[in-house]
Structure 1
């Protein structure tokens, strides 16, 4: 089960979304020896995003090539994803 999604905006305006799956979580743990909830640096955030999109077949560049193409990364927790599925007018971090 995915713990959320990662939304990647590329410099060319393209947007891709990938699931933060168990494989992505373990990849981060193996590389940085921290859990996903402890990810703090830009490198760790972009690494997780790259892993998610690579696993989904949406990114073929190596990590350095990926960094050259990316404008922004946003993590959307699973609860926010579930709420958006029920009500697409909600956005992550909004609501009451």
Structure 2
């Protein structure tokens, strides 16, 4: 699911005879979250709306812009996932800055 709606792509696999590898020609040119239905931009919008209103209201608001908007459960999972990522990043930055401060002394 993208901001412009659902995209159905038929991708052809190609076999490299020299390296014996099978790959998709456009795989490196298309940003995709793999098996996730909603792409990152839709997920960010839904999580952002959820910070300002209830999940149910966020879905109603989002459906005004995108016909197939994530459900309340999906928004909840994405918010938890983003929070986990942010906390990991904060801990990494703290550890890195602490190590840098110790090195400077």
Taking structure 2 as the reference length, the TM-score comes to 0.25
- Higher Rg: 2
Which structure has more RCO (C-alpha within 8 Å, separation ≥ 6)?
Answer: 1
Q: Which has the higher strand share?
A: 1
